[in-house]
Amino acid sequence: MSTTSVMGGIVRRKEDPALIQGKGVYVDDKKFHGELSVAFVRSPFAAATIESIDTSAAEALDGVWAVYTSADVSHLGPNPAQVPVGALRPLLAEGVVKHVGEAVAMVVASDRYIAEDAAELVFVDYDPGEAVVDLKEAFTDAVKVHADASNTLLTWNGNAWWAGVIELPDPQPAIQESKLRDDAIVVSLEMTNQRLIPTAIEPRAVIAEWNDGYGSVELWTSSQIPHAVAGAIGITFGIASNKVRVVAPEVGGGFGVKLNVYPDEILVCFASKQLGRPVRWTETRREAAFSSIQGRGWLGTATITGTSEGKILGYELEVMCDMGAYTHNFTVAIPLLGLFVASGQYDIPTSYKLHCVTTNTMTTDAYRGAGRPEAAYYLERIIDVFSRRIGMDPADVRKANFWPPEAFPVQVPIGLTMDSGNYAENLDSLLDRVGYDDLKAKRDAARSEGRLLGIGLSSYVEVCGFGPSVLVGTAFSWASYGLPSAFNGSGVVRVQPDGTCTVTIGTGPSGQGHETTWAQIVSDGLGIPMDNIEVHHGDSLDSPMGVGTFGSRSIAVDGSATFEATGRVREKAAVIAGHLLEAAADDMVFEDGGAHVAGSPDRAVTWAEIALSAYQPHTLPEGVEGGLESSVVFSPPNATWPFGSHMALVEVDPETGDVDLLNYWATDDCGNVINPMIVDGQVHGGIAQGVAQALFEEAIYDSDGNLLTTSMIDYALPSAENLPMFSLDRTVTPTDSNPLGVKGIGEAGTIGSAQTIVNAVVDAVAHLGVEHIEMPLRPKRVWQAIQDARG
């Protein structure tokens, strides 16, 4: 029985006092006695053969302990945590390099400064070869990244998800037939969804200590997936997983960049084992640009066939997706994730064709949204182009094609089932709140004065909250990592003998506020005050078997496990309290830090009294075991399907092309909400990263494969001054796929926002003859588009 009301309420974050005071412990704060430091020697070439490596001068430098190359580590095999499609990244380059920044040698020294000095003394004789960076060029195989393989790793042509699992009819005949209709209007546009550098405020950092006495290793790493890292290390070194402790303490931002197992995580363990000392490496900001994964990097053509009344008869998307030189944790799976939401909120025949293409660049992998922002971008941009072509309001076109609420559950073209959705209500709610008609009038009035205002709209649907086991276990089995998990959630709730509570979860935050949100779930269920609940996470041995934080999955999956565990603890506590109060367990009410008999608040026991009894079994009723804790693994029956509608108002400077984002509104639906402040924070950050893609950020490689954006000078990360206050609201359509009715909100803001901005900017200049501008919409591009349109 829920008797407190912290769930659904704004509760200040428990974790903030320590973090704000600089007292949170991140990897770099954790000091080991006698630790050594690593610097990597990295390739300056995107494609080269390594003729020789001379480490003698580096090894001779005072303070240098070791210099390792592939000759020292290749026996460990490649990092096992990589999708086995395409080339696997070796721990250190083996005779060839395939992208700028690839690690060639590893220097270990008594401090980082000496290590960097020594790295400059490692002489690598490269024979540069020809690199291929351009996607279309790579697709031709004229220059191969890996000599013995096509650059195209995988082509997905059709609409069946994981062939053999779910087969659906091919939509292409119907789409092609609709193009022959007399009233058919076809719009088609090639668009780039540019490469991005995910930028966490804390770069990646690792420190390992190998203990020969125990035959064990402890690795602290800034990671979203400590259990998977532990699995990979166990496999690599041939030791049992219970001898590997991987700790992800405070993590300063993840966004997918820390959702990989990286060679350095393995290499510091190796070096520690060899040298008998703890070994540390912390990524520099420059290294973060080219040696941690990047995101997006798609080039595609979106085509809509529809009628002048706004009915969409078919949607086709064909994309080339840049995988980089090696595949990592998910890499080729990211574009496939876009499949799930290719047709968005719409009842439209959809065909999705993709090619995963290798280039001489850093690997791409999951970046906030991971396949879903890209899919939403193509669909919602081409709907805007279509709307303009037929002269219909883009909101009306969207409404004409939404799945109606009564259609749910809906099988999406790719084969999964969307359990719930209420799209028209959500969009209407946004339009009412914004005052859409007034906004359009304001835009038109400004335009008559020569000012370029534009309104952008996007709907989106997300798929997240992964599991379910049947899908993920079939598709993404991580068994090869030593992690037999199909993306279950896990939670352990333990009441301590003093009546306080410890919650241990299989996921962990990288800033999202899990400690507060999880404490709210437990406090709500047990009536234990928030301050008496501690949430622990991020230790591969002490946390329950977990998967990690990504895909907006933590609350739906691990949160549900904790909710179920809380219920089981409450059931047992009711038996104990009833026994202590000589009343029926069913009559127990939990609130105000204890339990009392329903209707008799004075007949009460505190949680300390209940817990003390639980740990003194002679005081328990017959047949009740001692202890007061529960461990639950939750496997959801389905993914979750958040959705929403976003709108932006921009003004374009006609003389310079400078875009001013004046207002941003979002109405999201993530089901039930546990902490509105935390959910708003997630939406804020998500929108900021989507706006960043639309207006500012781009990882730029030149044709030789040199990354030109390796610092914040060249990679324009926005700051608060570049963004307006966002105006947020929600509709609430709970899912029945988990007991909390929650869907996840970590990525929604990003999935909805980039195309909202582009739609707005194009709206501001469309009357001049501009149909599309490629992201990021830097002033030069907007200005050039205006110039080109004016001829």
Partner 1 sequence: MYPPNFDYVTPSTLDEALAVLSESENAKVLSGGMSLIPLMKLRLVRPATVVDISRIPGLDGVVDHGDHIEIGAMVRTAETAGNALIAEHATALAEAASATADLQVRNQGTTCGSIAHADLAADQPAAVLALAGTMVAASTRGTREIAAADFFVDTLTSALESDEILVKIKIPKGGKSVYRKLGRRGGGSDYPIAAAAVWVDTDGSTVADARIAVTGVSSKPYLASESAAAMVGTGGSGEAIAAASSHATDGVVVLEDLYASVDYRTHLAKVYVKRALEDVLA
- Looking at residue 701, the DSSP 8-state letter turns out to be B
Question: Cα(299)–Cα(354) distance, rounded to whole angstroms?
Answer: 10
Q: What angle do CA 242, 243, 249 make, to 5 degrees?
A: 85
If one asks whether residue 724 binds partner 1 (CB under 8 A), the answer comes out as no
Task: State how far the alpha carbon of 424 is from the alpha carbons of 142, 313, 400, 428, 752, in Å.
Answer: 48, 19, 9, 6, 16
779 binding partner 1? (CB under 8 A): yes
- Residue 202 as a binder of partner 1 (CB under 8 A): the answer is no
Which of 60, 240 has the CB closer to partner 1? Answer: 60
**β-strand 244-247 against 216-221: which pairing, if any?**
parallel
Query: In this complex, which beta carbon is closest to partner 1, that of residue 580 or of residue 785?
Result: 785
CB of 134 to partner 1, least distance (A): 17
Residue appearing with tokens 């909250």: 465
Minimum distance from CB of 689 to partner 1 (Å)? 15
3, 150, 211, 284: residue in contact with partner 1 (rule CB under 8 A)? 284
Considering beta carbons, is residue 120 or 309 the nearer one to partner 1?
A: 120
Binding residue for partner 1, selected from 112, 146, 273, 353, defined by CB under 8 A = 112
Site for partner 1 (CB under 8 A): which residue of 11, 659, 688, 775? 659
Closest CA to 357 of 319, 301, 316: 319
The 118-157 contact track toward partner 1, x by CB under 8 A, reads: --x-------------------------------------
Judged by CB under 8 A, the residue of 17, 167, 719, 732 near partner 1 is 719
E-assigned strand segments in 514-658: 533-536, 588-591, 594-597, 600-606, 629-634, 643-652
Q: Which of 655, 725, 790, 791 binds partner 1 (CB under 8 A)?
A: 655
Smaller CB separation from partner 1, 516 or 710: 710
Q: Which two tokens stand for residue 90?
A: 């070796």
Task: Return the range that interacts with partner 1 (CB under 8 A); candidates 144-152, 332-340, 493-501, 714-722.
Answer: 714-722
Identity of the residue, 125 or 660, whose beta carbon is nearer to partner 1 in the bound complex: 660
Which one of 26-34, 79-87, 712-720, 742-750 is the stretch in contact with partner 1 (CB under 8 A)? 712-720
Neighbours of 449 (CB within 10 A): 7
CB of 38 to partner 1, least distance (A): 12
Whichever of 350 and 361 has its CB closer to partner 1, that residue is: 361
Q: Which stretch binds partner 1 (CB under 8 A): 107-115, 358-366, 586-594, 632-640?
A: 107-115
Kindly tell me which of 187 and 649 has the beta carbon lying closer to partner 1. 649
- When the beta carbons of 519 and 692 are compared against partner 1, the nearer one is 692
Instruction: List the alpha helices (DSSP H) in 181-284.
Output: 226-237, 263-275
Stretch that binds partner 1, among 108-116, 579-587, 630-638, 726-734 (CB under 8 A): 108-116
The one segment of 18-26, 405-413, 713-721, 763-771 that binds partner 1 by CB under 8 A: 713-721
In the complex, least distance from residue 113 CB atom to partner 1, rounded to whole angstroms: 5
Calculate the alpha carbon distances from 144 to 29, 92, 326, 686 in Å. 43, 21, 13, 36
* Alpha helix stretches (DSSP H) within 363-435: 372-390, 394-401, 423-434
Q: Is 656 in the site for partner 1 (CB under 8 A)?
A: yes
Element (H, E) at 692: helix 676-695
Quick count: other Cβ atoms within 10 Å of Cβ 477? 13
Q: Which residue has the tokens 């805007």?
A: 384
Nearer Cβ to partner 1 (408/783): 783
Near partner 1 by CB under 8 A: residue from 15, 72, 102, 117 = 117
Min CB(658)–partner 1 separation in Å: 5
| Binding residue (CB under 8 A) for partner 1 from 330, 352, 696, 701 | 696
Query: 396 φ, ψ to 5°?
Result: -70, -35
DSSP state of 410: E
Query: Among residues 484, 644, 637, 640, which one has the least CA distance to residue 554?
Result: 640
| Residue 713 lies near partner 1 (rule: CB under 8 A) | yes
Determine if 708 is a binding residue for partner 1 (CB under 8 A): yes
**Which one of 371-379, 458-466, 681-689, 717-725 is the stretch in contact with partner 1 (CB under 8 A)?**
717-725
**Residue whose CB is less far from partner 1, 35 or 729:** 35
User: Considering the complex, what minimum distance in angstroms separates the CB of residue 287 from partner 1?
Assistant: 8
Query: Among residues 8, 12, 17, 113, which is the contact residue for partner 1, using CB under 8 A?
Result: 113
Query: Which listed residue (116, 137, 177, 428) binds partner 1 by CB under 8 A?
Result: 116
Closer to partner 1 by CB, 23 or 780: give it: 780
660 binds partner 1 (CB under 8 A): yes
Residue 137's contacts (CB-CB under 8 Å, 6 or more residues apart) are 143
Nearer to partner 1, 497 or 718 (CB): 718
For partner 1, how many residues bind (rule: CB under 8 A)?
32
Q: Which of 695, 742, 761, 775 binds partner 1 (CB under 8 A)?
A: 695
Angstrom CA distances, 370 to 163, 195, 205, 418, 469, stand at 22, 12, 23, 19, 20
Answer whether 185's CB lies under 8 Å from 311's CB.
no
Question: For residue 508, how many other CB atoms are within 10 A of its CB?
Answer: 30
Contacts of range 74-79, beta carbons closer than 8 Å, 24 or more positions apart: 76/236, 76/237, 76/266, 76/270, 77/236, 79/232, 79/236, 79/261, 79/262, 79/263, 79/266
Best CA proximity match to 81, nearest among 286, 223, 273:
223
Report the distance separating Cα 120 and Cα 113, nearest Å.
11
d(CA 284, CA 288): 6
> Residue 669's beta-bridge partner residues?
643
Rank residues 57 and 184 by Cβ distance to partner 1 and give the closer one: 57
CA distance 690 to 369: 10
Stretch that binds partner 1, among 116-124, 132-140, 231-239, 603-611 (CB under 8 A): 116-124
Q: Scanning residues 28 to 87, which ones bind partner 1 (CB under 8 A)?
A: 39
- Residue 552, token pair as written in the block: 């907006």
Asked whether position 716 contacts partner 1 by CB under 8 A, the answer is yes
148, with CB counted inside 10 A (0-12, 13-18, 19+), is: exposed
CB of 394 to partner 1, least distance (A): 25
Q: Output the smallest distance, CB 783 to partner 1, in A.
A: 6
For residues 42 and 122, give the distance between their C-alpha atoms in angstroms, rounded to a whole number. Answer: 10
Least Cβ distance, residue 784 to partner 1 (angstroms)? 7
Closest approach, Cβ 120 to partner 1, in A, equals 8
Q: Which is nearer to partner 1, 65 or 352 (CB)?
A: 65
Largest CA distance in the chain: 90
Report how far apart, in Å, the C-alpha atoms of 371 and of each of 416, 464, 752 are.
Answer: 16, 11, 13
Pick between residue 76 and residue 289 the one whose CB is nearest to partner 1. 289
Strand partners, 353: 157, 318
Closest C-alpha among 687, 691, 715, 712 to residue 701? 715
Using rule CB under 8 A, residue 694 touches partner 1: no
399 in Cβ contact with 412 (< 8 Å): no
CB of 411 to partner 1, least distance (A): 43
Which residue stretch of 136-144, 280-288, 476-484, 560-568 sits at the interface with partner 1 (rule: CB under 8 A)? Answer: 280-288
Instruction: Answer yes or no whether residue 709 interacts with partner 1 by CB under 8 A.
Output: yes
Binding residues for partner 1, per CB under 8 A?
A: 39, 112-113, 115-117, 120, 284-286, 655-656, 658-660, 695-696, 700, 708-709, 713-714, 716, 718-719, 721-722, 778-780, 783-784
